[in-house]
Structure formats: structure tokens, C-alpha cells
Amino acid sequence: MTTSVLEPTLDELLPCRLNNPELWFAESPSDVEAAKALCGECPVRELCLTGALERREPWGVWGGELFLAGAVIPRKRPRGRPRKDAAA
């Protein structure tokens, strides 16, 4: 008798489907970085990023990159005023 190993479905491989979707649209910079890290091994990362660039997604993490106003930005700044003294 042979046993079959069930292959995971695509949804079971996508971090954005396995985790809380709010993480990809989070306010907290640390949550945004966590979402970007989860995208690292995603099998459709490049496709997701390409689609987001074509659609000019207004905000959120897409394909491991952070979008704001349709453009990729390096990191999310915390809310509030910037520090008066420059951080060393």
C-alpha cells in the first residue's frame, strides 16, 4: 500500500495568506519590516512586486518592498515629529 503525500496549495505557501493581512499595511515600522522579511522566501515575490509597480499600489508591503503613494520607499518612519538633534 502506498501513501500519498499531499502537496501544499499555493495559498499555503504565501506568507500574506498564512499571517494576519494587517501586517502588510501596518503603522508600526517594526511590523512593516516583519512583513518585508516574510516576503523573502515567497514563491510569487517577483510577480507580486511587478504587479504592484504596474498598479502603482498606494501603500503597503508588496513583493517585499514598501509602497507609499505608488512608489517604493526604503523604510517607514515612525509617527510624530523627527528628533531635533541628529542621531549619531
Binding residues: 16, 39, 42, 48
> Which residues, including other chains, have CB under 8 Å from residue 47's CB and lie 6 or more apart?
63
Annotated binding site for [4Fe-4S] cluster: 16, 39, 42, 48
Q: Which of 10, 36, 14, 13 is nearest to 23 (CA)?
A: 36
> Which residues, including other chains, have CB under 8 Å from residue 23's CB and lie 6 or more apart?
31, 34, 35, 38, 61
